[in-house]
Structure 1
Amino acid sequence: MKQKLILFIKSNFSLLAAISFAFLILAVRIKITGSLFFTFLVWNLFLAGLPYLFSQLLKYLNNSNGNKILQLGFFAMWMLFLPNSPYIITDLVHLQNENSIMVWLDLLLVFVYAIIGLLLGLFSMIDVYHVLKSKYNTKNANFFMIYSCLLCGYGIYLGRFLRFNSWDLFTKPQVLLYNIAHSLTNYNVWAMTFAFGGLLYILFWTLQSKLIIKK
């Protein structure tokens, strides 16, 4: 177990360094302003990192022919929490808040957390994409990633405008389903879904293509 942990840290050292940098910027802002306003970014980054954790576990179990039920469970959890990664981009709206008193520092702070959260989501998508390719084929894997990106786009709408969280699927499913049903007739919902979903797929496709070329 200790060796696996060391290997995980080494393979994700750059991500851990980036997260440490994000924490440092937040600490500097707190020191300068005395305000804890942007500390919510830490929680949002934690949620954005969960899909990557689940995808890493899924990839490990898939490569080692591990328990199929566990694989399905981690896959379901990945799907449920994936929208949290691109969602963190929308935290840029908080720059308009009256508590945002150092525009240049606040912009850097939110941007750093948003980029790291987005990268965690993209890396998790690449993990799941390769798992799906190994189980099925490239065509089905690509189709599923498009589908996942569109679900993420809709998930961003649910989180930012309707203020739902991933766990609301279990804590208040009836309220969630009611709001979902009523939102599907709204043109703006579809526009936001395709806009964010399209952006996420383009970023995934670009990053995945670069990795293939590098190999």
Structure 2
Amino acid sequence: MKAELIELMARVVQVLQINMRWMTWNLFLAFIPLALSVWLFRCKRGRSWVWWLGFLVFYAFLPNAPYLLTDVIHLIDDIRTIQSVWMITLVLIPVYFLVIMAGFEAYVISLINVGYYLHRIGKSQWIMWMEMTTHALCAIGIYWGRFLRFNSWDFVTQPDALLTRGVEEILGKQPLVIIAITFAILVGLH
């Protein structure tokens, strides 16, 4: 019994060590747009070229926050690896839940900050349209990241590939269905 418990704990630690790398990285990427949203939309500043550059970087990185919702696919593999109901229930699911929720909350708070900014500048009527457009753009970004393996910085490092392959790929029936479902999930959870 003791040897089995030690072996199980070793497996859990191994799985968590592997996951902590990508979980930490994905959370870091999710918090970039959150930090930018505070700087861009909560602090009163003029819209200089630096502001517009920050705005573009904000929208390039924003899909990373809700992208964490798709990381639930890794949970399935981890459940197969660990196979202990107690370790899955007490360790894996809470860790995944916290990481996924932290990423999605970064997304929600970022959108709240954009809405605050629009309200502050007298454009409250645009908030719903901004949110719907942002959900749609993020659904496309999530598809590009999860299925085409593009990253936010590919807008700078390989813009041709991002635009040609990215646009070509999303015009198919299956990608449009996946993007539509992702859009619906973002709208529903937001």
Same structural fold, with TM-score higher than 0.5 when normalized by the shorter chain = yes
Name the CA shift for 1:190/1:66 in 2 (closer, same or farther; >3 Å): same
Q: How many residues align?
A: 174
1:37 aligns with 2:22: no
Q: Distance in 1 between matches of 2:172 and 2:162?
A: 16
Gaps spanning 5+ residues in structure 2: where? 1-8
**Paired residues of 2:42 and 2:117 also in contact (CA < 8 A):** no
Deviation at 1:151, TM superposition (A): 0.6
What is the TM-score normalised by the length of structure 2?
A: 0.81
Name the CA shift for 1:203/1:95 in 2 (closer, same or farther; >3 Å): closer
Q: Distance in 1 between matches of 2:81 and 2:32?
A: 28
Q: Which residue of 1 aligns with 2:112?
A: 126
> Which structure has the larger Rg?
2
Q: Distance in 1 between matches of 2:37 and 2:111?
A: 8
Q: Which residue of 2 aligns with 1:70?
A: 50
Q: Which residue of 1 aligns with 2:171?
A: 185
Identity of matched residues, %: 29
Gaps spanning 5+ residues in structure 1: where? 1-28, 205-215
Deviation at 1:66, TM superposition (A): 3.8
Deviation at 1:88, TM superposition (A): 0.5
Question: Given the alignment, which residue of 20, 26, 30 partners 1:48?
Answer: 30
Name the CA shift for 1:191/1:32 in 2 (closer, same or farther; >3 Å): closer
Question: Given the alignment, which residue of 83, 88, 100 partners 1:103?
Answer: 88
CA RMSD of aligned residues (A): 2.2
Deviation at 1:136, TM superposition (A): 4.7
Which runs of 4 or more aligned residues in structure 1 lie more than 4 Å from their structure 2 counterparts after TM superposition? Answer: 29-32
Q: Which has the higher contact order (CA 8 A, sep 6+)?
A: 2
Deviation at 1:169, TM superposition (A): 1.2
Q: Distance in 2 between matches of 1:138 and 1:194?
A: 26
